[in-house]
Structures are given as C-alpha cells and as structure tokens.
Structure 1
C-alpha cells in the first residue's frame, strides 16, 4: 500500500505541475479554446484515474477492454496520434507562411532594385521584373520594347 501511495503522489505532483505550467503560461500559449478545455479535462481525468484506479478498470470492462491500464494505453495512443497530426499540420502551415513571406520579400526587393536601376540608367541583362506582386510575375525584355 505504501508503494501505491508513493506513485500516486508522484503522478499527482506531475499532473499538478503540468496544470500549473499551463496556467502560468496561459497568455503566451496561443492555443484554441477547445484545446485548452481538452487539456484541462485531460488533467482532471488524470487526477481522477490516479486517485480511483478501480473506476478506470470498471470503465474499461464496460467498453470491452480487459484492464484499466490497457484502456489508458489505448487512449494514450489516440492522444499521441492527434498530437503528431496536429504538430505536422501546424508545421506545414508555418512552412507555407515562411515560403509566402520569402516570396513577397524577394519580389519587393527585385522591384526596388529594378526601380533603382531604371532611375540610374543601369539595366543589366536587358530584363525588368514588372511591378506585379503576383508570384508568377511577368518578365519583359526592355530590349524588345525598344525595337
């Protein structure tokens, strides 16, 4: 019984520290409301499962799972899969934003350089990028326009 109380204390301290860090960093955590609610429900369920492990076994039996630990493992697999998918989707979104930003900066720099060259009369290669912000900006030749 003493070993059970020790592990329960360790798990409860872990859940409490997760909740404390989450609340302490609330203003810097840019997460949606439903994710915050889901995290809070997760911590509450964690505390309940630690304090009442027989109830988890009862729920597992009613769901057709042999043991409460198996049910917790299955739920953990689903949670980790959700986390991995969510992280992947956020990464892809950030990657697209960085690409769009780099493209916009490159186009802006090209237009500034071309306008500087036009005003100073130094146009190298005979090509000028038009002032469109479209990534597929049309390139026209100044040599062909003077013919």
Structure 2
C-alpha cells in the first residue's frame, strides 16, 4: 500500500512541476490555476488518507470515495473540453484576423492595366 501512495504522490508532484514550468508560456486564467492547485491538494490528501475521501463522499451523498473521484473527473473532463473548444475558437478568430491583415498588406495591384476595363474608343 505504501508503494502506490508514493507513486501517486510522485505523479501529482510531476504534474505540478510541469504546470509551474509551462504556466508562463500560456495565457491560463487565474481561476484555472487555482482550480488546478486545489485539485492537486485534493489528490495528495486522497492518496494519503483514502478513508477521508470515503467520508467526504458519504457527506455529499455518494456511496464510495472512488465514485466521488469518478464524478469529479467527469466534471473536470467536461470543463477541460469546453475550455479547449473555446481556446481553439479564439485562436481561429485571431488567425483569421491575422490572415486578413496580411492579405490587405500584401495586396497586388494589376500590372499594365490588366484586369481593368478598357476605355471606350470614340470614332
């Protein structure tokens, strides 16, 4: 039992290390950072004292602690999916705006009257 606790805590700490290492490179909202930090704290507590997790599950009306973890993961997955979708939509909008600006900046005018209507000739 002690080995799995050590492995799980190391996994949580590795996740924290990766998060802190890359947090400056992405524009993550403060609420997402706080939520992630709370999740990591919850994970360490759940690994160290699984009975506490069962007690919390009973307190909120769930039969087992593992069911509570499953429900929490479902909610977290839904949040992550929506967050990713919105982030991609924002990036798509920004790229479209950039492409428009580059297209306007690099527009090419017709050479030697190509593409322009010919003037009417008078007899």
Q: TM-score, normalised by structure 2?
A: 0.87
Match of 2:95 in 1: 98
Shift of 1:143: 5.5
2:35 aligns to what SS in structure 1? helix
Gapped runs of 5+ residues in structure 2?
Answer: none
Q: Distance in 2 between matches of 1:109 and 1:143?
A: 26
Shift of 1:6: 1.3
Gapped runs of 5+ residues in structure 1?
Answer: 127-141
Q: 2:59 aligns with which of 53, 58, 62?
A: 62
**In the comparison of the two structures, how many residue pairs are matched?**
119
Q: Distance in 2 between matches of 1:101 and 1:143?
A: 35
Q: 1:125 aligns with which of 103, 115, 121?
A: 115
* Structure 1 outlier segments of 4+, above 6 Å: none
| Structure whose CA Rg is larger | 1
Higher strand share: 1
Q: Name the Cα RMSD after superposition.
A: 1.7
2:25 aligns to what SS in structure 1? coil
Match of 2:32 in 1: 35
